């Protein structure tokens, strides 16, 4: 049953996002064509317009993806749709987990599309050469295994940060909608305050770890391997813990019951 719930939630969350994705792809192709030919005055102007549209579309995709996840939680659990949702022959855990999983997949899909479009527009012979030089420097300074793990670690950290932002909103919704009045105001306040406090704590933890480890500069201007492992590991651990804590608390509050409008 979880798979069926996931399918409907994911489809709803990404329904509008597809429009922005198609627009972004078209703009990316147009921008690539314009920047690959000799520039004239009109083409320079067109290039600036396309870049502005490209950035705006990326922002729209990220905002739309996040907002639709939170709107899905509110409409399905606390608004008119909730009367049908809460009578389905499924557990509260399945309802909650479906939306969390669909939200994560929706955000990751949006991020993947954005990265692909950025690569399409900005990757060329010169940029590939620069990336190769950076990779060669990374491998020469450490080793190929650590270089691969370093890149994977950065990707995982970004994913955990994306989930962290989403779950801050989910926690705010579940706590805020337990109230009888000012539900949206309380939801936004709880989400923003918890996000701000935990973000400050994470910076503090990373700063402490950074001071405990000597910041030694080695070959090619890179910090020592011990420093990267310590600071990077602390960042990964902190955001992983935050994501888990957000999930546990939000689901626990949700399982206590909902206050339907």
Task: Average the pLDDT over 44-61 and give the result.
Answer: 88
Q: pLDDT averaged over the chain?
A: 87
* Position 220 pLDDT exceeds 70: no
* Position 213 pLDDT exceeds 70: yes
Sign of the Cα pseudo-torsion (140, 142, 145, 151, in order) = negative
* Position 146 pLDDT exceeds 70: yes
Asked if residues 249 and 171 have their Cβ atoms less than 8 Å apart, the reply is yes
Cα→Cα distances 134→72, 124, 144, 158, 226, Å: 42, 15, 13, 20, 20
Task: Average the pLDDT over 166-171 and give the result.
Answer: 93
Nearest of 250, 109, 238 to residue 169 by alpha carbon: 250
pTM (two decimals):
0.85
Asked if residues 223 and 215 have their Cβ atoms less than 8 Å apart, the reply is yes
Angle at CA of residue 12, ends 7 and 113, nearest 5°:
90
Asked if residues 106 and 69 have their Cβ atoms less than 8 Å apart, the reply is yes
Rounded to an integer, what distance in angstroms lies between the CA atom of residue 94 and that of residue 89? Answer: 10
Rounded to an integer, what distance in angstroms lies between the CA atom of residue 114 and that of residue 108? Answer: 10
pLDDT digit string (tens) for 121-143?
888 888 888 888 888 888 888 88
Rounded to an integer, what distance in angstroms lies between the CA atom of residue 249 and that of residue 190? Answer: 13
Q: Which residue has the higher pLDDT, 172 or 80?
A: 172
Asked if residues 135 and 215 have their Cβ atoms less than 8 Å apart, the reply is no
Rounded to an integer, what distance in angstroms lies between the CA atom of residue 203 and that of residue 209? Answer: 10
- Give the tokens for residue 60: 């729209």
Asked if residues 110 and 117 have their Cβ atoms less than 8 Å apart, the reply is no
Rounded to an integer, what distance in angstroms lies between the CA atom of residue 135 and that of residue 129? Answer: 10
């Amino acid at each position: 049953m979880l798979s069926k719930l996931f399918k409907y939630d994911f489809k709803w969350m990404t329904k509008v996002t597809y429009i922005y994705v198609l627009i972004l792809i078209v703009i990316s192709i147009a921008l690539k064509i314009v920047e690959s030919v000799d520039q004239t005055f009109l083409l320079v102007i067109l290039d600036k317009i396309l870049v502005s549209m490209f950035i705006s579309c990326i922002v729209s995709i990220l905002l739309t993806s996040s907002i639709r996840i939170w709107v899905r939680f509110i409409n399905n659990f606390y608004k008119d749709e909730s009367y049908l949702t809460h009578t389905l022959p499924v557990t509260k855990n399945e309802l909650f987990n479906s939306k969390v999983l669909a939200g994560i997949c929706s955000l990751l899909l949006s991020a993947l599309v954005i990265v692909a479009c950025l690569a399409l527009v900005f990757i060329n012979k010169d940029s590939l050469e620069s990336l190769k030089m950076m990779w060669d420097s990374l491998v020469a300074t450490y080793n190929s295994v650590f270089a691969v793990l370093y890149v994977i670690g950065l990707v995982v950290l970004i994913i955990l940060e994306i989930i962290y932002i989403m779950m801050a909103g989910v926690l705010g919704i579940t706590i805020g909608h337990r109230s009888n009045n000012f539900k949206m105001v309380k939801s936004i306040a709880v989400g923003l305050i918890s996000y701000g406090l935990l973000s400050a704590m994470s910076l503090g933890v990373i700063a402490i770890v950074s001071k405990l480890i000597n910041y030694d500069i080695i070959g090619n201007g890179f910090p020592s391997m011990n420093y990267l492992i310590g600071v990077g590991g602390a960042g990964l651990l902190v955001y992983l813990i935050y994501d888990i804590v957000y999930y546990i608390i939000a689901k626990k509050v949700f399982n206590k019951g909902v206050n339907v409008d």
